[in-house]
């Protein structure tokens, strides 16, 4: 695993204050360290990490957005996804983006500057309450595989608790690849080395992490030989 040590200065104090241990211990190099984040926040990085499936995975989320919706995206994503989501929501809607890490908040604020319908809020998605107005769409784009299982449960329950009767949740994330998928072996190594919380998505459905999955309808489809999943969740018809 890459070395996550960093020298403490007033500047790094700012970037590390309040960041959960799983982020500094496992993902410092990827999301917390401001110098690295500057290099990594590019479309080409997202394309490479997602084995060129970036556009169709993003479309799975963007296609669910209609102009004027109220959307909560639970965490920042590198590249232009948040800008595209906010543009699609448009001035008649609301686009709320939460993230737990200071440098990610900085990047997101730059991307969404000058768009008054967008708010970037530093918050743990697991305890976010919104402003009391319901969201039409709530999206987790590749967050679940990066948080410990307890946090998965808390974030999913929180997303479900903020879902109104007419609303939808969208999860885009990793999944267990089919036995014949050639990159299955590579992903096993990557998970063991860099992504210790991703393995749970190979062994469990996302719905397994919800306290009351029976109250919701979970529609899953997989892509790229099972490497990725898109799960759309709605309240069950009464």
Q: Which residues bind ligand SAM (CB under 6 A)?
A: 23, 31, 46, 74-78, 98-101, 104, 124-126, 141-143, 146-147, 151
CB of 74 to ligand SAM, least distance (A): 6
Q: Which residue has the tokens 């809020």?
A: 121
For ligand SAM, give the closer residue by CB, 93 or 154: 154
CB of 5 to ligand SAM, least distance (A): 19
For ligand SAM, give the closer residue by CB, 167 or 228: 228
- Token reading at 211: 């306290």
CB within 8 A of 230, min separation 6: which ones?
57, 60, 170, 171, 172, 220, 221, 222, 223
Paired residues of 121 in beta bridges: 98
Centre a 10 Å sphere on the Cβ of residue 208 and count the other Cβ atoms it contains: 14
CB 94 within 8 A of CB 71: yes
CB 232 within 8 A of CB 168: yes
CB of 180 to ligand SAM, least distance (A): 25
- Token reading at 101: 């890490």
CB of 108 to ligand SAM, least distance (A): 8
CB of 214 to ligand SAM, least distance (A): 25
Whole-angstrom distance, CA of residue 118 vs CA of residue 139: 15
**DSSP category for residue 211:** S
Whole-angstrom distance, CA of residue 238 vs CA of residue 222: 28
For ligand SAM, give the closer residue by CB, 157 or 235: 157
For ligand SAM, give the closer residue by CB, 96 or 151: 151
For ligand SAM, give the closer residue by CB, 44 or 178: 44
CB of 56 to ligand SAM, least distance (A): 15
For ligand SAM, give the closer residue by CB, 195 or 208: 195
């Amino acid at each position: 695993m890459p070395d996550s040590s960093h020298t403490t200065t007033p500047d790094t104090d700012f970037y590390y204050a309040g960041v959960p241990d799983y982020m500094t211990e496992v993902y410092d190099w990827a999301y917390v360290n401001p110098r690295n984040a500057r290099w990594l926040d590019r479309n080409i990085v997202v394309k490479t990490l997602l084995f060129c499936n970036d556009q169709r995975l993003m479309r799975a989320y963007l296609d669910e957005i209609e102009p004027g919706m109220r959307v909560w995206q639970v965490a920042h994503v590198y590249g232009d996804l948040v800008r595209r989501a906010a543009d699609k929501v448009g001035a008649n809607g609301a686009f709320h983006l939460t993230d737990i890490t200071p440098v990610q908040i900085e990047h997101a604020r730059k991307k969404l500057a000058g768009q008054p319908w967008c708010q970037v809020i530093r918050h743990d998605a697991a305890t976010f309450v919104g402003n009391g107005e319901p969201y039409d769409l709530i999206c987790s784009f590749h967050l679940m595989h990066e948080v410990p299982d307890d946090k998965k449960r808390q974030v999913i329950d929180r997303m479900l608790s903020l879902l109104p009767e007419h609303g939808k949740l969208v999860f885009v994330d990793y999944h267990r690849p089919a036995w014949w998928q050639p990159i299955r072996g590579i992903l096993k190594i990557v998970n063991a080395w860099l992504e210790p919380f991703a393995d749970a998505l190979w062994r469990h459905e996302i719905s397994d992490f919800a306290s009351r999955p029976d109250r919701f309808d979970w529609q899953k489809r997989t892509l790229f030989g099972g490497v990725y999943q898109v799960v759309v969740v709605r309240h069950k018809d009464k």
